Chain A
Amino acid sequence: MHEEFDELAALEAMGGANSEESRRLAEHCADCIPCSEALGDYRDAAAGFAIALSPVPPRRDARDSLLRQIETEAVADSRIAEATEDAAAAVRRTIPSWWFAAAAVFFLALFGWSELRLRALTEEMRVLQTEKDAISEENMRLASEARAAHARLDTMRSASQLVHLAASADTTRASANVFMDGARHRAVVVFENLEQNDSGHSYQLWIIRGDMKPPMSVGVFDAEADGRAELEVSDMPVDVPIAGLAVTLEPRGGLPAPSGKVLLQGKA
């Protein structure tokens, strides 16, 4: 006897177990004879509430009416059974036996075809599921990009300072605009006409300090083939006097201090 299921059986017999408890109990009792017997006892004990009442005979005419109805049902059932048997016998008499063999072959073929079709559909479902997963992933990536773009636009709209960077040499048309939002320490830099950097180099943006201290790196970035680039700075220093901004080409990943020549610059 299992205590937990004995308690559940007691509740079940009184209609006090919930559906989950009833399911668990039924599963357990299928394999546990003592608990199954306990449940039977509890059900009989519950029936005892009815037995304990003083019996009240029902009306005699109700009994007769019930028995008439049952007789009618029994006759109808036997007629249906006879008719079904007759029909089956008639079918057996009228249909040649080779028809049954042909029907068996047909159904076997139908079953085989269904099985193959089912497998094909299962495979198709698997492919569709893979495509759905890929689309979901792409969707999430695009949503993430959209959020980033909104954040950049937001920074550009609320920029308190705009710095234009122009090419240091006349040989290039490269330029950039720096949108700085001092209140939120954020900046967005949009570059145009930059020459695409090779894989061994990165562009690096620097703050030219007004206190004559060495330039401070703001971030590194790569230019696209069409000469465009964007750099988003989320922790723009606010306690540094900014005299201007400049861009250099540095070894991949950037350096602590500028080593290349200044390609773009502008005054803050």
Chain B
Amino acid sequence: MTSPATSGNLLPAIAAGDTVAVADLYDRHGATLHALLLRILGDRSDAQEVLQECFLQAWRRAADFDPSRGSEIAWLVSIARNRAIDRLRSRNLRSVREEEAGREIPNELQSVDRGEGAERQAILGELRQRMRAALDELPEAQRTALELAYFQGLSQSEIAERLGEPLGTIKTRTQLAMKKLRESLKGLGWFDDARRV
């Protein structure tokens, strides 16, 4: 079945009760969110469970989405990350995550395209390459601070403690890294494309 909202943002249609749009949203972003959840939680069953919760929340709270505050994918990623970090903290899964961090994700899960939205997948692939290029431009110390905050949900104080550096240094480093990242992505036309997928 084809939803009337197969192009552009699906969330307004979902807010209006269009269940087919949820399926489209899942097909569009499920693999990206699943990869993020696996990276944060390091556990497949937890990642799958949080993914379901994330789409249920998107279904129930789609009306809260405000396109002026960021893209559709940024909204979903934010929901998924917050839920994953909450679970990581509440279940104290850090040790599990660290154990499994070194394990590679099985190859059979790496294939992504089920044939739907080939153009969108191509744009996503482009976005991925450009994001990686922008991240590669960051100094190692800045990238590390961002990754600790993003994937492990560490506060700025916790990062400072982990790296043995003053809190002010870590805050400045995070700000500089984000500014530089924003400039690089702008130069690559990344934001416009991110709002199209």
Are A58 and B178 neighbours in the complex by a CB distance under 8 Å?
no
Given A46-B74, A74-B19, verify A51-B110 contact (CB < 8 Å): no
Q: In the assembled complex, how far is the CB of residue A23 from the closest CB belonging to chain B, in whole angstroms? A: 16
Which residues in A have their C-beta under 8 angstroms from that of B31? Answer: 55-58
Interface residue A49 (Cβ < 8 Å from any Cβ of B): yes
Among listed A13-21, A85-93, A189-197, A241-249, interface-contacting one: A13-21
A11, B112: Cβ atoms closer than 8 Å: no
Nearest chain B CB to A87 CB, angstrom units: 20
How would you classify the secondary structure of chain B's contact residues: helix, strand, loop or mixed?
A: helix
Q: Which residue of A lies closest to B135 (CB)?
A: A52
**Interface: A36 (CB within 8 A):** yes
- Indicate if the CB atoms of A44 and B109 lie closer than 8 Å: no
Of residues 46 through 95 on chain B, the ones whose CB sits less than 8 Å from some CB of chain A are 48, 51-52, 55-56, 59-60, 68-71, 73-74, 77-78, 80-81, 85
Q: Is the CB of A67 within 8 A of B71?
A: no
Given contacts A44-B194, A62-B51, contact A50 B36 (CB under 8 A): yes
List chain A residues, Cβ under 8 A from B52. Answer: 62, 65-66, 69
* Interface members, chain A 35-71 (any B CB < 8 Å): 36, 38-59, 62-63, 65-67, 69-71
Distance of B188 from chain A, by nearest CB (Å)? 11
CB pairs A–B below 8 angstroms (14 shown): A15-B155, A16-B171, A36-B69, A40-B69, A44-B73, A48-B131, A48-B194, A49-B36, A51-B32, A54-B110, A54-B112, A62-B51, A63-B23, A70-B59
Binding site for A on B (CB under 8 A): 17, 19, 22-23, 26-27, 30-36, 38-39, 48, 51-52, 55-56, 59-60, 68-71, 73-74, 77-78, 80-81, 85, 105, 109-112, 114, 124, 127-128, 131-132, 134-135, 146-147, 149-151, 153, 155-156, 171, 174-175, 178-179, 181-182, 185-186, 190-191, 194-195
